[in-house]
Amino acid sequence: MTFIVGLTGGIGCGKSTVGQQFADLGVDVIDTDTIAHALTQAHGSAILEIASAFGERYINQHGALDRERMRELVFTDANAKAKLEAILHPLIYQAVIAAIASADDAAYILLVVPLLIESKRYLDIVQRVLVVDCDEQQQINRAMARSGLTEQAVQRIMQNQATRQQRLQHADDVILNTSSLDFVQQRVMELHKTYLTQAQILPATH
């Protein structure tokens, strides 16, 4: 089975940037956020079930999930959050397993999971955990700049994620994303070479 590296990090830490850098090196990248967006876009596999569970008001005029309205709901209603996760999480996991199976000739796979540390099912299928790390104020500033979210909204998201300390405790490797993009790229190159070697000498056991 293919060697799988799990990539995670809190909101604003730079997971997407790092994931793209690995992709640019030819690595097969599977991103659960990308899968979730596909499932909830117009005609996505989760739309009918979401509309049935929450009502048509949570589907926008294009037939996709109204993300802003749903975000407001799940931030304030734990039951709604659990209901949405019960719809999406199994579909995302199925898509991940299918993508892994179709990439069986890859040198290794980078599996990007924002809530990797919180999810045993994903921890069980990766051989290494790579954490993109930065301090919490940088997370807040970057997430606000990127997504247009308020500081309060970003902090609410962070409260629903593992802490920085918890992520680092699970990390086999860390990319410290606090300075230049060149530094991050250099670290990605180093890890890419390491993973290519590990994929050859450490067969997957899961």
**pLDDT tens digits along 90-119:** 999 999 999 999 998 899 999 999 999 988
pLDDT at 190 over 80: yes
Mean pLDDT value across residues 60-74: 93
Over residues 107-136, the mean pLDDT reads 93
SS (H, E, C) the chain: CCCEEEEECCCCCCHHHHHHHHHHCCCEEEEHHHHHHHHHCCCCCCHHHHHHHHCHHHECCCCCECHHHHHHHHHHCHHHHHHHHHHHHHHHHHHHHHHHHHCCCCCCEEEECCCCCCCHHHHCCCCEEEEEECCHHHHHHHHHHHHCCCHHHHHHHHHCCCCHHHHHHHCCEEEECCCCHHHHHHHHHHHHHHHHHHHHHCCCCC
Selected residue with higher pLDDT from 1 and 107: 107
State mean pLDDT over 166-183: 91
Domain definitions of the chain by residue range: 1-27+106-199, 33-105
| Per CATH, domain 1-27+106-199 is 3.40.50.300 | yes
pLDDT band for position 124 (50/70/90)?
very high
pLDDT of 38 > 90? The answer is: yes
